[in-house]
Structure 1
Amino acid sequence: MSILRLLTCLVFLLTTRAYGQKQIAITVDDLPAVSKYATSPESQQRLTQKLLTHFSAFQVPAIGFVISGFLQTNGQPDPRKIALMTMWLDAGLELGNHTFAHKDYNLVSFDELKADVIGGEQVMKDLVQQRGKPFRYFRHPYLRRGDTPAKKDSLEAFLRQRGYREAPVTIDNSDWLFSRAYDHALILNDTALAANVGKRYVEYMGNCIAYYEAQSDSLFGRPISQTILLHANTINADYLDDLLTVLKQRGYSFVSLDKALTDEAYQTVDRFCGKGGISWLHRWALTKGKKGSFFKGEPEVPAMIDELANRKL
């Protein structure tokens, strides 16, 4: 073995020993559910129970981010939808704020988004705190933090004042697009097509995980504690066990968002201001001056998935 290779192996071993097993926090957006197929209260309850069963089987301390407007029917709180959030709490999982109406910060003013953040506390803040749990994390709609320095800084200051910590994402992906395609296959009652979408989804997500692992290795010279964005949708209800198996096979243990954020990587400066809702790994890379070649290779959604997702039914 060459001296260079020996030193490389030694550095890897020391890094692994210092930071331990690879860790990942599972974060889930758009609670209680976002599905074109599961639209009735009964089907959304089944979707929620499937997700929770997967988390329990793999001992995942997931956190869900709630769109409080989704908890209403005809402008009034809907006890059946609120009960879905109680299921999450009964499972011992944490919940956070994903605003009231999921407004795009690129399209609204700071004052309008501020009102949306406060609206996101309706029902949920009391529900969570009655359990003696904190309502402390905020997830940005579309991962957009502000397309100008003024908007970004204003939102950061407001969230701190409100007692929130921003919930970052390192492993970004288009699970929502696969789930829309999957919903369409189910609506068409085409079980073979749905199974094909599910298979392609798990493959795609494995590629996304590998890509962002490589990005973190390039940026920090070591594996970091990752945070992955998923959605409370149909495809995850049916295929989350396969995805969690992939993560286990890649050497990950599942940790809380709180634990993942103790990794010093999350102290990295983020000066990115732009319209894109992008991974924090890419925000940090851009802040560090990385150029186009650094970002090459991000997995793409297959054309057939895109076509099916956007098909008019």
Structure 2
Amino acid sequence: MLRNLRIFLVVWLGMVTMGYSQKQIAITIDDLPTVSRYYVTADAQKQLTQKLLVHCTTFQVPAIGFVIAGKLQRNAKPDSDAIKLLSMWLSASLELGNHTFAHKDYNLVTFEEMKNDVLAGEQIVKNLVQRQRKPFRFFRHPFLRKGDTQAKKDSLEAFLKKRGYQEAPVTVDNSDWLFSRAYDNALLLGDTLLASQVGKRYVDYMHDCVAYYEAQSDSLFGRPIKHTLLIHANTINSDYLGTLFARLKQRGYSFVSLSEALTDPAYRSEDRFYGKGGISWLHRWALTKGKKGAFFKGEPEVPAMIDELANRKI
């Protein structure tokens, strides 16, 4: 009987280890319906959305999109074209979440103002989602900022919980938005070769970001965790998201929903961080555990040419 117990424990530990060694990642996409300087007309924004959804469908990615509800209005009235873009996401069986109404920086506003921005973020989106009998349960903090004082952080956390929201964490943070601004500018210049160079550098940079945060989670937890990747509904992802998904699969990842990723015990780690920075949850947990400067070294940097092109006035 003792021998059988030993065999059972060996098998059980093997299954647990196998489960943790499989790489899994949730794809979360911010700033819906779209954020682009290149795709600006209603037809162009529809094209951008279609391209993003094709990437998700092709690679069977159960992504979640976080909506800025203010983008669903034009002249203070509902914009039917923008709302139709959200319907496309729902028709593709993807989930939507709240990213506030005006994407306000919590460092610059009071708790009351942020609370009202969260509530306004439910306008149109919540009813649209619930009519499709889908959940509307996740909230994504603008700029990943949860509060620059303990009181503001605690107040927002308590309000979101009371409202029935679950905070949507990010473990793999990055600057995809800066690459997309550079990509937009290359396209606006009509320089397709330059745009292609930006796209290639973007995929390499994102791959390096995933590798960096993999190492961070291994150091912090001693095992791989189910990661959450933040990207945006922008121009560069409309063209290169499929390439990025392929690279992630080559790296051994499978794609899971946000709700599945959050079943990882890592997300129950204590987060006592408050401050002006909008940082990865891995860094929040690390700071809470007392990790110092050396732990955080090595985060990939945006190449200087990308930064220059992104900030060029065109």
Tell me the TM-score normalised to structure 1 length.
0.95
1:66, CA displacement in angstroms? 0.1
1:183, CA displacement in angstroms? 0.1
Q: Is 1:304 aligned to residue 312 of structure 2? A: no
Q: Is 1:73 aligned to residue 100 of structure 2? A: no
1:134, CA displacement in angstroms? 1.1
| Partners of 1:25 and 1:257 within 8 A in 2 | yes
Aligned-partner Cα distance in 2 for 1:295–1:20? 23
Post-superposition Cα deviations, 1:87-134, rounded to whole Å, max 9, x if no partner, equal: 000000000000000000000000000000000000000000011111
User: Residue in 2 aligned with 1:90?
Assistant: 91
Q: Partner of 1:312: helix, strand, or coil?
A: coil
User: Residue in 2 aligned with 1:231?
Assistant: 232
Q: Partner of 2:160: helix, strand, or coil?
A: helix
| Partners of 1:15 and 1:222 within 8 A in 2 | no
User: Residue in 1 aligned with 2:110?
Assistant: 109
Aligned-partner Cα distance in 2 for 1:124–1:183? 28
User: Residue in 1 aligned with 2:126?
Assistant: 125
User: Residue in 2 aligned with 1:206?
Assistant: 207
1:18, CA displacement in angstroms? 3.8
Q: Partner of 2:35: helix, strand, or coil?
A: coil
For structure 2, the residue ranges without an aligned partner over 5 or more in a row are: 1-12
1:20, CA displacement in angstroms? 5.1
CA RMSD for the aligned pairs? 1.1
Post-superposition Cα deviations, 1:45-77, rounded to whole Å, max 9, x if no partner, equal: 000000000000000000000000001111111
1:19, CA displacement in angstroms? 2.2
User: Residue in 2 aligned with 1:162?
Assistant: 163
| Partners of 1:22 and 1:223 within 8 A in 2 | yes
User: Residue in 1 aligned with 2:185?
Assistant: 184
1:272, CA displacement in angstroms? 0.2
| Partners of 1:24 and 1:227 within 8 A in 2 | yes
| Partners of 2:21 and 2:224 within 8 A in 1 | no
Percent identity of paired positions between Structure 1 and Structure 2: 72
Aligned-partner Cα distance in 2 for 1:108–1:275? 12
Greater CA drift, 23-32 or 69-78: 69-78
Q: Partner of 1:96: helix, strand, or coil?
A: strand
Q: Is 1:136 aligned to residue 137 of structure 2? A: yes
Post-superposition Cα deviations, 1:250-307, rounded to whole Å, max 9, x if no partner, equal: 1111000000000000000000011000000000000000000000000000000000
| Partners of 1:100 and 1:117 within 8 A in 2 | yes
Aligned-partner Cα distance in 1 for 2:19–2:301? 34
User: Residue in 2 aligned with 1:265?
Assistant: 266
Aligned-partner Cα distance in 2 for 1:228–1:146? 21
Aligned-partner Cα distance in 2 for 1:72–1:188? 29
Q: Partner of 1:205: helix, strand, or coil?
A: helix
Q: Is 1:193 aligned to residue 194 of structure 2? A: yes
| Partners of 1:67 and 1:100 within 8 A in 2 | yes
1:13, CA displacement in angstroms? 6.6
Q: Partner of 2:25: helix, strand, or coil?
A: strand
User: Residue in 2 aligned with 1:288?
Assistant: 289
1:14, CA displacement in angstroms? 6.7
- What amino acid maps onto 2:156 in structure 1? L
- What amino acid maps onto 1:210 in structure 2? A
Cα distance, 1:258–1:274 mapped onto 2, change above 3 Å: same
- What amino acid maps onto 1:136 in structure 2? R
Aligned-partner Cα distance in 1 for 2:71–2:134? 21
| Partners of 2:21 and 2:223 within 8 A in 1 | no
Aligned-partner Cα distance in 2 for 1:18–1:251? 13
User: Residue in 2 aligned with 1:253?
Assistant: 254
1:30, CA displacement in angstroms? 0.0
Provide the aligned length of Structure 1 versus Structure 2: 302
Q: Partner of 2:66: helix, strand, or coil?
A: strand
User: Residue in 2 aligned with 1:29?
Assistant: 30
1:17, CA displacement in angstroms? 1.4
Aligned-partner Cα distance in 2 for 1:75–1:36? 22
Aligned-partner Cα distance in 1 for 2:29–2:240? 14
1:15, CA displacement in angstroms? 5.8
- What amino acid maps onto 2:37 in structure 1? K
